[in-house]
Structures are given as structure tokens and as C-alpha cells.
Amino acid sequence: MKAIVCTKFGEPATLELREVEGRSPGRGEVRISVRAAGVNFADLLMVGGKYQVKPDLPFIPGLEVAGEIVECGEDVGEMRVGDRVLHWARHGGGFAEEIVADAAKVVRLADEMDFATAAGFHIGHGTAYFALTRRAALRPGETLLVNGAGGGVGLAAVEVGKALGARVIACASTPEKLAAAAERGADLLIDYTAESVRDRAKAFTDGAGVDVVFDPVGGQAFGQALRAIGWHGRMLLIGFACGTVQQIPANIVLVKNVSVIGVVWGAESERDPAFAVEVMGELMEFCRSGAIGPTKCVSHPLERAADVFAAMAERRNVGKAVLVP
């Protein structure tokens, strides 16, 4: 089968398209024909040797896949050949024509969801939903501020926040990214490269400040959002796409009784697969009800993986990029 292979840690240009040998599933495993694979910031970190999971070289990147089960091992529960599924591949392997997966970490797709949408769903929407419901306990009527609102996980947070009944402020760095957030229902748009996030957010909330901040960006964007937070606010730390890890001024956290909360959905899924399946099942119901619509995904051929990674590193992507074998 064809696969994207990382032979040495470094820049995306080192990735190679190769023929590699597949394998049959063992006990508790299924073999999935990959129809689409999501591209995530964590993939970029893994290729660079900077992710918390550091696989042995050479390896196939790709943490998020959607496809069809083509072979089942023994003891795979209710999974069957022909099932349309998505899978979170904690240690990579998704940028290939096939992947063998632990059946306990596979989720059936809603009939309404196509493969490209599904490939951009588990990490983006799973992270957003887990963060906003389980970590921040976002309530209807509260105000949510989303940094990086034009990227895959940011757009998911905008959409999930609206589905949960919040008022959503979308912050991004370009008109195109803000337009994408507006399409997802954002109530207020802020270009944090040209406007005061604190002033506009305070005006929008009648001076009270926002209740929850969802931040996958880090750096200055995080600092601006922290100054827009209100009493008993919750800061969700998702990642640091800008390359600068968030620095937390303890004085601001102290005087507003702010909670700073880490969110690692991938590790949570790995530690408790049954919980992850439960969360994804809830999300699938949102999709079936129409509360969450199709993700804006941009599909690229598998062989263009290095170019897609380079665009992500430069933060040029709008929405979610997926690779299609």
C-alpha cells in the first residue's frame, strides 16, 4: 500500500510517499480502508520530533482517519466489515491507504457524514466538545471567546459553543478566517492583529468580560484574551499554534478567581477509550439533529502531504485540511 513516511524528524519536506507492507488485523483489531485522513497541528509536531508521543523512525504520521472496515479480527464487538467508521490513531499511521486499528477506539459514522467531514471531526470537534462540556462546563447564555477561530479546531469550538447555547466571540488574524467563523455562527468577530480584544469583548459583554476562553494559539493572542476574561472565567489551554507557549500572569488569575485548564483530548481518548466513544456518540447525535453541520474541509491528494504540512506551519490554512489516498 502507499503511505506517507517520516524517515527523520524535521521539516515537512522530509516526508516521502512510499510503498509499504500492510498487515492483517489481530484479536480485537479491524483493518480500515482509509478514505480520508485529517491533518492536525499534532501531526506537524510529531514529524518535527516535538510531540509528547515520539514514535520510532521510520513511521507513518496521521492521527485521524475515516474509512470503511474491510477485515475484522476476532473479538471486535459489534464492528462488521462494511461499517463506515472514524478512528483516532494516537501513535500515527493514518496517512496511508489502510490502517489496522483497535476496535475499541473505532466509532461508527452518522449516515449523514461523508468521509472527508469525518476525517476532520474527531480531533477538532472532539477537542472542542470535551473542552467546553467536560472541562469548562460552558452554560447556555455564557460568552465564549475563541482564539484561532479560522482553523480546524477553532471553527469546531465556534460551532460547538453555538450548539451549546453560548454567545461566541471569534478572534482570528485574517478576514478570510473571520469570514469562516461567521459562517459557523460567531456573534462577534475580532481581528486580534489590528483591534483590542479586551476593549471589544468588554463592550460586547457590557463590561463583564467573557466567561470562557478557548485558546489553541498561545503567545500574544492568549495574553489579549486573558485580559478580556471576567470574574470566575475559565481559560482553556488547547495548544500553541503560533509557536510560543502561553505564559500565565498569576496576578490576573488571582484577582479574578480565574481557572486555567489544560485540555489534551488525544491523551484522554487513549486513557479511557470507552469515555471517548461516549463523547463522540454525543457529537454524532448533534450531527444527526442538525445542531452541528459539515466541517469546512479542504481535500488534498495523499502525495501532497508535505505541502499541506508547510501551509499549516505557516498558519495559511483556513478550516480543516484532509488527505485523500
Q: Indicate which CATH number applies to the domain containing 280.
A: 3.90.180.10
Low-confidence ranges of the chain (pLDDT < 70): 294-296, 318-319
Same domain, 255 and 271: no
Same domain, 182 and 306: no
H or E element, residue 279: helix 273-289
pLDDT confidence of residue 296: 65
Q: How many domains does the chain have?
A: 2
Number of C-beta neighbours around residue 299 at 10 A = 14
Same domain, 220 and 285: no
pLDDT confidence of residue 300: 93
The separation between CA 122 and the C-alpha centre of its own chain, rounded to angstroms, equals 7
As a whole number of angstroms, the distance between CA 153 and CA 44 comes to: 15
Same domain, 168 and 46: no
Q: What digits encode the pLDDT tens for the residues 93-137?
A: 999 999 999 998 898 988 878 999 889 888 889 999 999 999 999
For residue 58, is the peptide bond before it cis, meaning its omega torsion is within 30 degrees of 0? yes
Same domain, 143 and 194: yes
pLDDT confidence of residue 284: 84
Query: pTM of the full predicted structure?
Result: 0.83
Same domain, 152 and 227: yes
Residue 151 β-bridge partners: 319
Which of 229, 263, 297 terminates a domain? The answer is 263
Instruction: Cell numbers for 321, please give them.
Output: 485540511
Same domain, 81 and 195: no
Same domain, 168 and 39: no
SS3 1: coil
As a whole number of angstroms, the distance between CA 181 and CA 158 comes to: 7
Contacts of 316 (CB under 8 A, 6+ apart): none
Structural domain that includes position 255: 125-263
Same domain, 249 and 271: no
pLDDT confidence of residue 50: 86
pLDDT confidence of residue 294: 64
Same domain, 64 and 148: no
Contacts of 193 (CB under 8 A, 6+ apart): 173
Q: Cell 518535527 maps to which residue?
A: 48
Q: Cell 466571540 maps to which residue?
A: 169
Same domain, 115 and 137: no
Which of 247, 263, 279 terminates a domain? The answer is 263
Contacts of 20 (CB under 8 A, 6+ apart): 1, 2, 3, 5, 60, 96
CA distances from 147 to 89, 162, 184 (A): 26, 15, 14
Same domain, 151 and 257: yes
Q: Indicate which CATH number applies to the domain containing 247.
A: 3.40.50.720
